[in-house]
Structure 1
């Protein structure tokens, strides 16, 4: 029991040191962490200094020393997104080890001689690590999962590159900790299967892209002196603007423009990319904003304005949002919920096509298999008409009504309490006393009776 307790403490201390190394590493360049461990001894790798980013060339040089001549079996746990902050937030460093989302990973990294940590690896593309391993091993990756691997006999006479794809949290159904804990259980099952077959392995855990990208902020422009309590201002990207004859015509801004063409498990945020506006146009009655992305996606926003006699004013509506990818097009109708006075902009914290949707997918596209396509816009604001200022939106008409469910609940509760108070005051004001009282020490009061 004492040995088990000591081993548990050593694993916790080792992983805590790993977390503190992650936390101390900060940089302005896009980066992903990379954890590497093996069933056998690994060549030593000097611990990087705080703030150092390991280059892809440096990693390639180290992998050359890892992959000595002969066959190797590599388990690549490739998560959709991963950053060092995921370990510091969900690793349970300052709490109980059972609260950690990476319990199997902690156990795998318990031996310093068979594990290597690269807190910050220069990120150069979603397929860079796969291409690097494929080049080093000379084999193509094989996509597997625990169920498939349990029925697969691994041939150790040749090199194997087994790719295990892991999702990342998307804030739709599960919390990030639950998703990462599920990924950790998958890693534990895969390692158990490989160990049961007595296959020597090299395991790598990293991400296709960072889950948190730190904006590049030049330190040369920061004031010198005391800045312990100074708060760094967040960098906000400018809105997308389409001009006609150097005059602003359409403006759009969103914190996130996430699209999915394969259901709720795979999202791509287009807000981080710079689009081309080719195909956009506008006039006094119709506006079209076309966002062409290099990743192959095209988002088109079709807006129109019309005079409504009932309100005696012009209103604009976002009639249609089209998503194009791979030669297919999905259309989402937004005219029922996305509208505002023509001189205003429209703003909504969440514009989705799946939960309380403001965008409704049209199913009338023959030959288009787009039933799983989804949109999710966060902090979305758009204006297609009557732009007066080239840098700011007009007054925003928000999608959330003033009397929300919480406000109604508060009003009803206050009304009930007020009625109780009024009823109590009414009862108190109508309390009366007796005109005469009996004196227990004196003669009893006699009331004469008359016939």
Structure 2
């Protein structure tokens, strides 16, 4: 696979790489990787597809040994800066060993995968063989069981904490070469995987906020502003936008669209859970809305696990489990109409117009790609397809009738004798 780093960078040189979209490199000295799906230019593989289509086939069978080299950050820009990718005579720069493996062995490069570390964590929890953590980057001390698959995890030195980024990548590359060499001496059949937890170094202040699960006042860290005729909640880990909220209560409709109506907005979040609360003053009526969101480690999707609205000291649970998207995507819907909950009170519904939400994986206070609520086949598309199907059946029936018409094979000659056809004919 000559020039794999140049190929990867050229394919995605115009891609906007977010912190959750990480490149993954695979190689194996003992098996072919041609059976794995190829990644098209510009395509991002979600963590669930990465787990099902790439990781699980690699850990099947007693020779399904997978070696995972995981570091804190890895991006295409890292290869551009430190691998000397534009030099045809380059030996790989800081990625000398990795480049050699990718060029000489059966290999596969995936330029953009959403949270591959999340998929790896899921595989570790469900792995039916033996999981080994390599200590001190010495694989010779690992006791491998050759009768079952082995999952070997090698945590590389943190790049963000290294005083020199290029030297950090170089040392990790040497560790990769050392560990694979030790496995080769033991005659282990394996497939190696090299990736990172994110494509950008974590901001220390932001990392502290996430670990301590702070709950802060909106005026301090969560500005509420008007953007494109709507209300925007913009924090370090939760973003919510809507044009308006319509509340039907006691035969009266209340419209919420002015951000100045927001009172006491607070939020809290970590890597797997998040919550958002805000109050509205609707004249004499006070409304409080709570949204709780969580990430499923099984599916790799986040969703609203609990949502409630409190009106006049009466709390209503509303069903918003349809608000779900892969981690690293925002959820978008033009209209979430007439949401109700598990209550017998039919005098209460909530509708969101121009709704967009993202609780995890934010980059520079911007929404990531939208996961739209409209499915691929809408009701209008189904009606169009059914109408076309009916027309097609009518045409087929008409053509079949035409083909069954028998052309007569006898004709009268005005100068000759009249044709007489017997009844038997």
Q: What band does the TM-score fall into relative to the shorter chain?
A: 0.3 to 0.5
Which is higher, the Rg of structure 1 or of structure 2? 1
TM-score, normalising length from structure 2? Answer: 0.45
Which has the larger share of strand? 2
